[in-house]
Structure 1
Amino acid sequence: MNEVWDSLTSVQPQPSWQVVVGTAVAALVLIGWRPLWRNTRQIVTIAHEGAHGLIAALVGRKLAGIRLHSDTSGVTVSRGKPTGVGMIAVLLAGYPGPALFGLAAAFVLSRGYAVALLWGLLLALAILLLQIRNLYGLWSVLVFGAVVFGVSWWGSSAVQSAFAHLLTWFLLLAAPRAVLELQYSRRGGGGRSSDADQLRRLTGVPALLWVGLFGLVTLGCLAVGVIWSGVLPD
């Protein structure tokens, strides 16, 4: 336990720019190659629904459970007033959530705390697991958590750092794609119960503007994450 605590509180050496760029390219492959994306997108859904749940708890709503489905969709149920600022905040959190989590991870990595980031992620997954209400969701979170735990416990410092950067890049790069998929679904006649459309019904603001806001936030997080990654020349 002393060794674990030391690794959590110690600053790890920053990886070379080749590792940072290599993990970014690997993340792009996981996102851009459709056969892989069908499975890796579940990580985005976990972050998306986790963001809904976190904001629901922060605004005082009673979290009733989270369900993750095999088609990479998900739903977070909370009890409380169906209108108002709190409900708007919950709906706003979903699509920007993965990007904001990725930006927070990029900040932690820029300070050299790769191991602390991985163990923090494990803690977050353990808390999320308590709210999962279906078997597929349980399986998804457990598998993802097992991978993170395996790297955190048995991986060398270099492997831990590379994996942390890969996850960070994945969240930052995948979030804008999820927003594009949302709008593509809406243009095809689907997605009418999406976060953007629910926000339209609550606020009267067109859903397309909410989709645009989601896109701006995710792209902004990606831009700042790139700066914090250190890959750009000084």
Structure 2
Amino acid sequence: MPRRVEDFRGLTRISRLRILHAVHRLPGRRLAEIAAEVDLHVNTTREHLAVLEAEGLVHSLRLVTGVRGRPPVVFHPVTDAHDNDAARQRADAATARGDLLRRLAPELDRSAELGAEAMAQLDALYEHLEDIGLEPQPDDSQLRIDVAPCRYAFAITTERALVCSVHIQLLKQQLQQLPGPVRLRSVTPFVTPTRCEIALAVDSGTQPTAQGATVTA
């Protein structure tokens, strides 16, 4: 059965990709500011942000201003699974499914080498890639993931920089949401016309950061 429009974590609409890019670019902005940047009506932008928040991709925060009236709401990317219920539930579910898979196929278990935290990060990353329709093909021995086909080909011709930027930021954030040593090392778009390549790294004794991902055009 074909997926619904709202599937793939709500990212198959270019307007939502633009909104997510705006949130990534300047976190902590208000609804009206985001709407102005993406050139959408405030109500339309609010509806799109609600979808993105329900998918665990952004979280809203009410500011305490000390003045009367409804507190303003600002929007941030989700970089900690505890900031968003959907993100936390996805991470927990991904870990449970990963644990089950490793019990059924022990040859896939690299917990002894990488540690439980790294495996939880990888589980969450694979789940995210599957959820957005990129069909990950992981090579755990090389910490590399091939993704294909691109579900966002509809926007690649005119919006390639936007599409790639949003997805690279999401990869970083998926790894940041859980504590662990895995970080994004590089993303190489279109190794072939239908395949991109993700390379990961494991930092010994250090916490991964949002920095260090290289994009190869």
State the TM-score, normalized to the length of structure 2.
Answer: 0.31
Higher helix share: 1
Higher strand share: 2
State the TM-score, normalized to the length of structure 1.
Answer: 0.29
Say which structure, 1 or 2, has more relative contact order (CA 8 Å, 6+ apart). 1
